[in-house]
Amino acid sequence: MFKAVLLEKPESGFQAAVKPVDDAGLPAGDVLLRVEHSTLNYKDGLAITNTGPVVRSWPMVAGIDGAGTVLESRHPAWKPGDRVIHNGWGVGETRWGCLAERASLQGDGLVALPAAFSTAQAMAIGTAGYTAMLCVLALERHGVTPAHGDVLVTGATGGVGSVAVALLGKLGYRVTAATGKQGEAAYLMALGASAVIDRAELSAAGKPLQKERWAAVIDAVGSHTLANALAQTAYGGVVAACGLAQGADLPATVMPFILRGVTLAGIDSVMAPIALRRIAWERLASDLDPAKLAAITEEVPLESAIAKAGELMQGTVRGRIVVRI
């Protein structure tokens, strides 16, 4: 038996609880991981609170991310004692996840834990921070440098946004952070933002083309916010879209694309190729200030994960929640 956040959907209705789970329920996998730390991403919040159709198979152990030590391995790349990170790949959705003392995983989807990080630091980054790095890489691939102008980060006090602000700030970009939490302006400036704006400037319906304000955008919000960000992006700029906190719709026009040559770059972290994941984690190890990572992190025990998931979905959490297993 091992302890886990178990999600169940019997006839009496949805249930989420931390309870002992039988090893016999572990899915087939070629690596058995002793999970030391996990985390709470937006998708974990949706699953644990049952507010989004994340879970596809019941019962489900929650947790799309985990970091720890290999206990057993039938995969040629890994041996007992190796320290590894897992992000995404449908874990916590279609197969049991990492908010648990043990996880059975596919070795092809694991990344070696960088020497720069503890398992707690890796989960302070988690899928949210790794997604932020994928966004930064997308901006770089499209040639955006600090000399090009301001970069907008939406949902800036969230997990993706907080790490994106910290990364961009360290890399020398002038960052404008958009948030609905104006009391967090000092927090965002300490992370690396040069300016903070109210998300209300972006969240309502706007004109198809607006004043050019941004050389690039990292957007975790979607809907009208993404549409306005596109309409405000300067000629030849790029918008990296990775989330839907406001909504999955995109009420925009083609005008920014055909009149300003704006690029909309979609960012997927769940099924990203392993080679890209390794690059992202290598860059996180070199480009993310450990002190700033600590400033955006709160650590809680496994027993508090369900309550914290509720706070995450209520919008009262800033930064990253690390779950100590």
Supply the pLDDT for residue 308: 95
Q: Looking at the structure, tell me whether residues 254 and 159 fall in a common domain.
A: yes
Q: Looking at the structure, tell me whether residues 248 and 303 fall in a common domain.
A: no
Q: At which of 250, 266, 282 does a domain end?
A: 266
Supply the pLDDT for residue 11: 85
Contact 44, 63 (CB under 8 A): yes
- Asked whether residue 241 is assigned to any structural domain, the reply reads yes
Q: Looking at the structure, tell me whether residues 155 and 193 fall in a common domain.
A: yes
Q: List the CATH number of the domain containing 219.
A: 3.40.50.720
Supply the pLDDT for residue 305: 96
Q: Looking at the structure, tell me whether residues 133 and 230 fall in a common domain.
A: yes
Residues paired with 33 in a beta bridge: 70, 103
Rounded Cα–Cα distance for residues 54 and 47 (Å) = 5
- Asked whether residue 272 is assigned to any structural domain, the reply reads no
- Asked whether residue 118 is assigned to any structural domain, the reply reads no
316: pLDDT strictly greater than 90? no
Q: Looking at the structure, tell me whether residues 11 and 80 fall in a common domain.
A: yes
Q: Kindly report, residue by residue over 249-301, the tens digit of the pLDDT.
A: 999 999 999 999 999 999 999 899 999 999 999 999 999 999 999 998 999 99
**Which of 139, 195, 119, 136 minimizes the C-alpha distance to 170?**
136
Rounded Cα–Cα distance for residues 69 and 39 (Å) = 16
- Asked whether residue 271 is assigned to any structural domain, the reply reads no
- What is the overall mean pLDDT for the chain? 95
Give the tokens for residue 135: 């966004």
Q: List the CATH number of the domain containing 36.
A: 3.90.180.10
Please give the torsion angle defined by the CA atoms of residues 133, 135, 136 and 142, in that order, rounded to the nearest 10 degrees.
150
What is the average pLDDT across 131-151?
97
The residue segments making up the domain with residue 74 are 2-113+291-324
Supply the pLDDT for residue 315: 85
Q: Outline where DSSP puts E strands in 74-137.
A: 83-87, 102-105, 110-112
Supply the pLDDT for residue 186: 95
pLDDT band of 182, cuts 50, 70, 90: confident
What is the average pLDDT across 115-131?
95
- Asked whether residue 262 is assigned to any structural domain, the reply reads yes
Specify the pairing of strand 65-73 against strand 83-87.
antiparallel
Q: Looking at the structure, tell me whether residues 76 and 176 fall in a common domain.
A: no
pLDDT band of 319, cuts 50, 70, 90: confident
pLDDT band of 110, cuts 50, 70, 90: very high
- Asked whether residue 279 is assigned to any structural domain, the reply reads no
Domain total in the chain: 2
Q: Kindly report, residue by residue over 74-105, the tens digit of the pLDDT.
A: 999 999 999 999 999 999 999 999 999 999 99
Q: Looking at the structure, tell me whether residues 200 and 239 fall in a common domain.
A: yes
Least confident of 224-233, 257-266, 288-297, 312-321: 312-321
Q: CA 268: distance to chain centroid?
A: 10
Supply the pLDDT for residue 116: 94
- Asked whether residue 276 is assigned to any structural domain, the reply reads no
pLDDT band of 168, cuts 50, 70, 90: very high
